[in-house]
Chain A
Amino acid sequence: MAASARTLTSGSTPDRRRPLGQRIGRAILPVYTGLVVIYLFLPILVMAVFGFNDIEGRFNFTWQGFTLDHWQNLFSRYPALNQSLINSLVVGIISTVVATTFGTLIGLALTRYEFRGRGPLNMLIFLPIATPEIVLGASLLALFVSAGVSRDLTTITLAHIMFNISFVVVTVRARIAGFDRAIEEAAMDLGADEWTTFRKVTFPLIFPGILAAALLAFALSIDDFVITQFTAGQTTTFPLWVYGASRIGVPPQVNVMGTLIFLIALVGIVIWLLLQRRTMSASPTTNEH
């Protein structure tokens, strides 16, 4: 890149007036970013395409031709796969609700109140995030084995709530920290009591943060493999089923489910972005970040 002396206005010079070398220089970063995006998408694309592969059994390795069969018999070929998906959803929903509630309460305490023991508490929240998943899973296994607890859907859920709490606290706290206390004081000045202020002012303002935390918790739970493998016993969740299947060949129905989950998540997030844009343009005076 040219390191020549540059004036302040160079940022606004139209591209066609620049020398060729500089135009190429400016194109490097966007082109590079595009390549990384392709890299990020490659395995997802492969997954989606091979959900349409016309094969008989589970050896989904070479392209045999196009078919919609696997989309049609998605839920009828492997009942155990359906059960594992249901298990994942159950664990995901319960652990999200519990972890979001507990995490939000901690987030509120940390940002609104003065109390002793913040240091140890912050450590307690930071450590599970800084610990490799395998250590979290393995130590839970050690606990369950020593205590003689049999491992099933309940132990998986207990574990998922644990690792989700920290992520919820961090997400919610970031949201509450950037929030103007004066709005609450105004509500109290106008005669609202504490509970009404919380219900009508505080909660609606921090709700986007709580929702983001819940979405993160659900995504982490649904996708978790490592901690689940250690706490599952004989129970299977969706990632565990796929892992087990990968030894003998992953059936194309898994590709189809992966594609469906991807599309549902994509549609969800696009709707969420559109809604956010609408609320932001509807109330241009609030300081949203």
Chain B
Amino acid sequence: MPGWLRRHRGIIPYLFLVPGGLWLILFFVVPLITTASVALQEGSLGTGYRLTFNFGIFVEAIQSWDTQLVRSLQFGLIVTLLTMLIGYPMAYTIAFRGGRYKNILLLFVIMPFFTSFIIRTISWKFILADQGFLLGTLKDIGILEPSFRLLATPVAVISGITYNFLPFVVLPLYVALERIDPRLIEAANDLYASRHQAFLRVTLPLSIPGVFAASLLSFIPAVGDYLNAELLGSRNETMIGNVIQRLYLVNNDYPQASALSLILMLGILVSVFAYRRILRGQELTV
């Protein structure tokens, strides 16, 4: 260690932080500021942009795309609920009943990540196809009406997103459940709690931090998702992500697109902090 560094030891942590911190400022904070300034500009690619502090654009964006905003929020909430309903029992089973199969079960949970997200979504498109092996067979047997379809319906989009983010939910739930001291549950049983009571009064409250992390890991990407709506849905299932993507990459309407992405980000941050409040309150009252 050179002499000057030894004399100024307080500098060391900052040296460690500089490269990564600068990178995040340059490619995360600065782009967000740029986005905000683009949103407040008026003009077009041809005529150039001028900063006019047109705050009305946020109101305008919300009014023009309210259907998609509300739909994204609804889909996000439904997906979060579904991933939780499917994922919690699974995480519980792996944590408390997994035994020597624990590692292999966890491996099964993360294995979908070994295949590209986009290939898996295209696979679902194929599985859910109107005359695919699933619906086609059911229609041939006569269980389903010939006109029945899943593709291009909200069901297809929601189940696609649910599938994509399920592993993100199982892992943090597993970590939270695994940490629970089994003696606490035994103690509840000793005190004549039924299995339901022990679960509701001991296991569930102790797993709340995991529930919090897991629901965010499903809600945030679900609200912003546009691939599932594009590949599995129709024009009636477009989400806010599809709008932002089209405005930026197809229409080149940068101010409107920037305003919408800021609205999406702020909306998510506000709900995350509100949600944390609610869960904290819950923890105290249970």
- Mark out the residues of chain B between 198 and 255 whose CB falls within 8 Å of any chain A CB in the assembled complex: 216, 220-221, 223-224, 226-227, 231, 241, 244-245, 248-249, 254
Which listed residue, A30, A102, A238, A242, touches B122 by the CB 8 Å rule? A242
Distance in Å from the Cβ of B199 to the closest Cβ of chain A? 10
Contact assessment for A258 and B115 in the assembled complex, using a CB-CB cutoff below 8 Å: yes
Contact assessment for B89 and A138 in the assembled complex, using a CB-CB cutoff below 8 Å: no
Contact with A along B28-51 (1 / 0, CB 8 A): 111110110110000000000000
Which listed residue, B1, B118, B196, B248, touches A230 by the CB 8 Å rule? B248
Which listed residue, A5, A29, A132, A239, touches B116 by the CB 8 Å rule? A239
CA distance in complex: A246, B265 (Å): 29
Contact assessment for B111 and A146 in the assembled complex, using a CB-CB cutoff below 8 Å: no
Instruction: Determine whether B80 belongs to the interface, using a CB cutoff of 8 Å to chain A.
Output: no
Is the contact region of chain A dominated by helix, strand, or loop, or is it mixed? Answer: helix
Contact assessment for B30 and A143 in the assembled complex, using a CB-CB cutoff below 8 Å: yes
CA distance in complex: A275, B160 (Å): 35
Q: A5-B192, A41-B111, A42-B127 are in contact. Are A225 and B93 (CB under 8 A)?
A: no
Instruction: Determine whether B107 belongs to the interface, using a CB cutoff of 8 Å to chain A.
Output: yes
Q: A195-B1, A242-B118 are in contact. Are A6 and B195 (CB under 8 A)?
A: yes
The chain B residue sitting closest to A225, CB to CB, is B118
Contact assessment for B224 and A134 in the assembled complex, using a CB-CB cutoff below 8 Å: yes
Contact assessment for A250 and B122 in the assembled complex, using a CB-CB cutoff below 8 Å: yes
Is the contact region of chain B dominated by helix, strand, or loop, or is it mixed? Answer: helix
Instruction: Determine whether A69 belongs to the interface, using a CB cutoff of 8 Å to chain B.
Output: no
Which chain B positions have C-beta within 8 A of A266?
111, 114
Which listed residue, B24, B93, B112, B269, touches A33 by the CB 8 Å rule? B93
Q: A40-B166, A146-B34, A223-B117 are in contact. Are A162 and B190 (CB under 8 A)?
A: no
Contact assessment for B90 and A33 in the assembled complex, using a CB-CB cutoff below 8 Å: yes
Which chain B positions have C-beta within 8 A of A132?
220-221, 223-224, 241, 264-265, 268
Contact assessment for A124 and B24 in the assembled complex, using a CB-CB cutoff below 8 Å: yes
The chain B residue sitting closest to A273, CB to CB, is B103
Interface centre among B25, B116, B272 (most CB of A within 10 A): B116
The chain B residue sitting closest to A238, CB to CB, is B116
Instruction: Determine whether A202 belongs to the interface, using a CB cutoff of 8 Å to chain B.
Output: no
Contact assessment for B24 and A125 in the assembled complex, using a CB-CB cutoff below 8 Å: yes
- Mark out the residues of chain B between 1 and 26 whose CB falls within 8 Å of any chain A CB in the assembled complex: 1, 10, 12-14, 16-17, 19-21, 23-25
CA distance in complex: A130, B122 (Å): 26
Contact assessment for A108 and B34 in the assembled complex, using a CB-CB cutoff below 8 Å: no
Which listed residue, A30, A43, A113, A124, touches B21 by the CB 8 Å rule? A124
Contact assessment for A142 and B28 in the assembled complex, using a CB-CB cutoff below 8 Å: no
Q: List 29 A-B contacts (CB under 8 A).
A: A6-B189, A29-B92, A33-B90, A37-B108, A43-B112, A43-B127, A44-B111, A102-B20, A106-B16, A108-B16, A109-B12, A109-B14, A109-B17, A124-B29, A130-B269, A132-B264, A133-B221, A135-B261, A139-B34, A142-B34, A142-B35, A161-B23, A162-B23, A165-B23, A166-B24, A222-B116, A261-B114, A262-B115, A265-B114
Task: Given contacts A106-B20, A134-B224, A142-B258, list 8 more A-B pairs with CB under 8 A.
Answer: A33-B93, A39-B163, A40-B112, A47-B120, A109-B12, A109-B13, A239-B117, A250-B119
Report B's interface with A, CB cutoff 8 A: 1, 10, 12-14, 16-17, 19-21, 23-25, 27-32, 34-35, 37-38, 86, 89-90, 92-94, 97, 103, 105, 107-109, 111-127, 129, 132-133, 163, 166-167, 186, 189-190, 192, 194-196, 216, 220-221, 223-224, 226-227, 231, 241, 244-245, 248-249, 254, 257-258, 261-262, 264-265, 268-269, 272
